[in-house]
Every structure is written in C-alpha cells, then in structure tokens.
Amino acid sequence: MKKLILCLLLTFVDCASEHDVKVAIIGSGMAGLSTANRFLEQNFENFEVFEALDRYGGRVYPVAYGDGYFQHGAQFINGDKNPLFELASELGVVSDVYPDYGHLSDAIVKYGNCPVDEADIDAFRKFADPLDGKYHDVAYNDEKRSYSETVKSMFDKDYAEFLKEQDAESGFRRSVFDSLSLTLRSYFEFEYAARWEELSLRAIEEWDDLGEVGVSYTTDKIGYTAIIDHLRSKIPDSKIHFNHRIANIDYSGPKTVLTLTNGTKIGGFDYVIVTSSIGHLKKFARKMFTPQLPQRKLKAIDKIGMGTSAKIFLEFPDMSWRKDEIVTPLPVAGCLGRKVLDPIEEEFNTFQPISWAPNVLMTWIAGHGPRKVDNLSDEELSNVIVKLLRDIHANDSIPAPTKIIRMKWTHNDLFGGSYSFVTYEQAQAGIKHADMSIPVRKDGKIRVQFAGEGTHHRIFQTCVGAFLSGRREADRILDMTH
C-alpha cells in the first residue's frame, strides 16, 4: 500500500509489477547465470539472457582434459561465508584450503649451474615473507598511505633497505636478488591480476572475503565446471541466446532496445542488467549506451583497473626429467649466457605439476606478462620455456612440450584482461568499485544496471563477487516490482 501511494504521488518511483516487466541480462558468465538463477528462485521468468559467445561461463572457462578440466579462469573460491562456497560444497568440488602464498613458499628454487648461494635465497625469503602482512597492516591502519602508495612503491623502499643491509647494491648478488624479487612481484600480480606499479594499497584495504586473510579454497579437477553447469541447467534453453553480441543499449525511449552487432534490434525491455567486464566496458562503454552513461559511471570505468593474469598448460611427451614439485625458476643476469634477463622469460615465476594430469606442467603469468606472451606464437613461446627449463634444471635433454593449452585473455575484447583491481589513479579519484553498482536512471526511473565482479564493493575480482552482484541486481528489480 505504501508503495502504491508513493507511485501515485511520485513519478520517480518504479511502479511496474513483476508481471509487467521484462528484463535483459547481458552476459552468461557467473554474474549473468547468478542473476537468472535468482529470478527463477523467486518465480520471476520474464527475462532473457544475451551472450556474445557460443558458451556460458565467461571468465570461468573449463577445457576438458583427461578425466578433468583445465580451468583457464577461476579455480579458487575466496571465503567460506558466501552462497557460492555453499553451492560448491553441495556439489562436492571444494578440495582443500590453500595459502595464497603457497606456490612460492612450497617451491624449490632452481638456477641450474649458476653460482647462486643458497644463503642468499634464504636471506631473501626472510626479507620477503613478512611483506604481504606488512602491506596489509599499512593498508588497514594508515589511511593516508593506503591512498598514496602502490604495492611497488612500498616494495621499492623495503628492497633498497634490504640491499643495503646485504651489501648487495650492485654486482652478481644484486642480480640474484633482482631475479628473486620477480617471484614476489608475480605473487602480488597474480593475486590481484595487476601491474604492481599501478596496484593501490586500497586494493588490500577494500577487498574482503570475510574469511581468514591469505587463504583460499581450492577446487578439484571438476571444480567450477560443476558450478556453472549447475547454474546453467536451471535456465530454460529458450531464455538464453548464444552468439548474440550486444553493440548498443538504447534506453532513450519508454522501453529499452538492444542492437546486436549484426544490426538486429530486440526491444521491449524495462530493465537491462549489463554484466560485461570492466575491460569490455573500457573499450565499448562510450558507444554501447544511448544516451551516453553518466560521467561518474564513465569515470569509474576509466579509472578502475583491468588486470591480466593467465595460466598456460604445457603437455610434455616425457616427464622423467623432473620431480613432482613446484619449481621457481631463477634465471640470473650475468649467468648462463644472459647479460640481462629476457623480457619474456622473466614473466615465468612458477612451474607447477597437476596431480591428475601427470604429463602437464602449469605456469602462471600476470601483470605485464600476458600482454607480452599473448603476442607470441606457440612455437616462440615453447622456445623460451624450453630454454628456461633446460637452463634451470641443467638438463639439455628436456623435450619441448607437445601441446600448449592457453587462453589469450588480453586478445579477446569481450574480457580485455582477467579481472579488475584498484588502481592508484582510482584511489586518488576517490572511486570505488561500488560506484559501478549504482543503477543508471532515465527520467528518474532505473533503466540500466551493472553486475559482475567489477561492480562488487567488497569482493571484486572474484566469482564470489560476480555471483553476489548478480543476485543483488535481480533483487533490486524484484524489490521494486513486488
């Protein structure tokens, strides 16, 4: 009744009932699937999903291998106090709890015949291990610095002191420490999918999975495949349209009209929920909406970072040359014929076995790495990796991989990278990820909404954030129309 009175008095209150309204969901990634599932849970069926690709999942991208799946995208679950963790547990795909730092602390550092002193590796580890905790402390307790520092600006100061203490400001030991620093860089860059010189300490302060700091839940060899399959299975086929890429969303009239890239127009929508990544919006937001999005929204899209990280799966014909361990490669400038480090080679800081795929090694790259590597052919990439592996294992008979399985996230403008992060510029401009969640109104009425990992105020970057944001936007419509 209260709503009815408001409807009669005020034009800016959305008064349609749920039976009248029609909703378009752009994208069938985690956020789009979650939105549709939330609607169905609440018995609201007047929606349609438009997906540019011929598959659902978006940045959840499983590729079948043996009796499992390589996950090109999401693999871990952040936090156990959220409905996605509950769903994953029900589906039986949560396998373990793992420290975010694990792939570094559990790794064996390999440097081949280079005269590296193990004591220097230990010294570096003692220096590096507390840094993540230290940066969390500064981010949480020193508001001014949380805005003015990046992770790299913090590290540069700490590293300069460390080198002084070690009396290693130049020379060969300096080169060893520089190479070891790359492993720490890769930790931050993979964790936040960010170039560390752009990564604001606000990222640490603002991100919260409500769980123990520094741990995530691993999933088994089926993992996220089971989660997206489950969410997809609830949505009737008639409601999900693949190969439908939206070029324009025109909300200038009383009903919103979508234009596909082939020119087809589909109209009649009251609300449109856009789940495109920040990377996609950076490239297309200025032509994707009629009328143009509000300046504040465009500024948020410009300033919020879109980072890159990627996994590369290498299948070898023979693995007898290695033990079952995580390896941190340590190529050192001035050693094994390297005057300086190769700019591609320096991006590979971990080689990990996969327990259920014994002939496969996985390597992660992040920060500037994916952009560099995505421009290489498989053959070029294989040459760099084989040389690196041969050098660090001091074994010239290591074979080339027979297959390289990878996803070039930076080359696909539906994603434009892997996930969002808080940039220094964003922090300076006072922009929050939450700004992305503010709906766009026309004549006082909500018309365009945003969901997706890049719109979550607390747990951006992740599938949990994407999942929760989809429910948030579905609930926003259900609350207005109930």
Ligand X SMILES: Cc1cc2nc3c(=O)[nH]c(=O)nc-3n(C[C@H](O)[C@H](O)[C@H](O)COP(=O)(O)OP(=O)(O)OC[C@H]3O[C@@H](n4cnc5c(N)ncnc54)[C@H](O)[C@@H]3O)c2cc1C
Nearer to ligand X, 159 or 224 (CB): 224
Ramachandran category for residue 193: left, alpha or beta (phi over 0 → left; psi -120 to 50 → alpha): left
Q: Supply 186's token pair.
A: 């890769």
Residue 187 binds to ligand X (criterion: CB under 6 A): no
Nearer to ligand X, 155 or 284 (CB): 284
Nearer to ligand X, 21 or 52 (CB): 52
Minimal distance, residue 333 CB to ligand X, in Å: 29
370-429 residues in contact with ligand X (CB under 6 A) are 409, 414-415, 418-419
> Residue 62: helix, strand or coil by DSSP?
strand
Minimal distance, residue 463 CB to ligand X, in Å: 4
What is the DSSP code string of 230-284? HHHHTS-GGGEESS--EEEEE-SSSSEEEEETTS-EEEEESEEEE---HHHHHHH
How far apart (Å, rounded) are the C-alpha atoms in residues 115 and 379?
30
Q: Supply 11's token pair.
A: 């034009």
Is the C-alpha dihedral spanning 374, 192, 440, 2 positive or negative? positive
Which one, of 401, 402, 398, 403, lies nearest residue 321 by Cα?
Answer: 398
Minimal distance, residue 268 CB to ligand X, in Å: 18
The window from 5-13, 30-38, 94-102, 342-350 that contacts ligand X (CB under 6 A) reads: 30-38
Residue 452 binds to ligand X (criterion: CB under 6 A): yes
The window from 315-323, 325-333, 432-440, 456-464 that contacts ligand X (CB under 6 A) reads: 456-464
Residue 37 binds to ligand X (criterion: CB under 6 A): no
Nearer to ligand X, 251 or 409 (CB): 409
- Which of 21, 25, 30, 477 is in the footprint of ligand X by CB under 6 A? 30
The window from 48-56, 93-101, 175-183, 330-338 that contacts ligand X (CB under 6 A) reads: 48-56
Instruction: State the virtual CA torsion across 29, 35, 41, 46 in degrees, nearest 10.
Output: -110
211-230 residues in contact with ligand X (CB under 6 A) are none
The window from 49-57, 87-95, 148-156, 376-384 that contacts ligand X (CB under 6 A) reads: 49-57
286-345 residues in contact with ligand X (CB under 6 A) are 309-311
> Widest CA span of the chain, in angstroms?
81
Residue 51 binds to ligand X (criterion: CB under 6 A): yes
Q: Supply 329's token pair.
A: 């490669």
What is the DSSP code string of 404-470? EEE--GGG-TTTSSSEEE-BHHHHHTT--GGGGGSPEEETTEEEEEE-SGGG-SSSTTSHHHHHHHH
52-111 residues in contact with ligand X (CB under 6 A) are 52-53, 58-60, 73-76, 78
Residues binding ligand X: number (CB under 6 A):
40
Distances (CA, A) of 50 to 53, 214, 258, 378: 9, 36, 10, 33
The window from 22-30, 229-237, 344-352, 421-429 that contacts ligand X (CB under 6 A) reads: 22-30
- Which of 128, 226, 304, 463 is in the footprint of ligand X by CB under 6 A? 463
Chain residues that interact with ligand X, rule: CB under 6 A: 26-32, 50-53, 58-60, 73-76, 78, 245-246, 275-277, 280, 309-311, 409, 414-415, 418-419, 452-453, 461-464, 466
